[in-house]
């Protein structure tokens, strides 16, 4: 084990395994949100970090941010919103049928499917880690659903 010297906290952890929320502060060079090792992909869920970067260049009105679970539960409504946002005009029934034919999903990679379900302790650690980022995202988007409090 090596000693993690982040802000003098002196936590003990194995290299590449510490979740150090305080180290992820804006503005961010990309390496700040990329943990050591390629098996842990914590940076993928830091939506607020990336959105705040984009908002320094583009206005908020140029973004349509959707949640996968909302899309999965009502593909027709989501696609209607996307087409409306992009000013593409209404979808025909045939176009909508083609788009809604396959369900939305967020599946594990094939090589990870045999790992089994996530341990409850791991789920709690991840929820604690992402909570402030999700809260910030909900604040930026003015939509409490993006806090993901029920997941």
pLDDT at 104 over 60: yes
pLDDT given for residue 108 in this prediction:
72
Structural domain total, the chain = 1
For 146, other C-beta atoms within 10 Å of its C-beta total: 20
Query: What is the rounded CA–CA span in Å between residue 121 and residue 129?
Result: 12
Q: Does residue 140 lie within any of the structural domains?
A: no
Within its chain, how far is the Cα of 39 from the centroid? 17
Q: Does residue 8 lie within any of the structural domains?
A: yes
| Structural domain span for residue 41 | 1-45
Q: Does residue 5 lie within any of the structural domains?
A: yes
Query: What is the rounded CA–CA span in Å between residue 151 and residue 134?
Result: 11
Q: Does residue 115 lie within any of the structural domains?
A: no
- Model confidence pLDDT, tens digit, residues 45-102: 899 999 999 999 999 999 999 998 999 888 889 989 999 999 998 888 888 888 888 7
pLDDT at 150 over 80: no
Q: Does residue 70 lie within any of the structural domains?
A: no
Q: Does residue 28 lie within any of the structural domains?
A: yes
What's phi and psi for 41, nearest 5 deg?
-115, 55
Whole-model pTM: value is 0.67
């Amino acid at each position: 084990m090596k000693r993690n010297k982040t802000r003098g906290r002196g936590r003990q952890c194995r290299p590449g395994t510490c979740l150090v929320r305080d180290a992820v502060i804006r503005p961010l060079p990309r390496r700040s949100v990329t943990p050591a090792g390629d098996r842990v992909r914590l940076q993928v869920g830091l939506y607020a970090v990336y959105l705040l970067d984009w908002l320094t260049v583009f206005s908020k009105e140029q973004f349509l941010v959707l949640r996968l679970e909302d899309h999965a539960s009502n593909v027709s409504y989501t696609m209607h919103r996307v087409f409306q946002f992009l000013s593409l005009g209404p979808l025909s029934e045939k176009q909508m049928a083609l788009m809604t034919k396959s369900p939305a999903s967020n599946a594990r990679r094939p090589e990870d499917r045999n790992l089994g379900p996530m341990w409850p302790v791991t789920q709690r650690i991840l929820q604690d880690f992402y909570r402030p980022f999700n809260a910030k995202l909900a604040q930026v988007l003015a939509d409490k659903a993006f806090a993901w409090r029920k997941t």
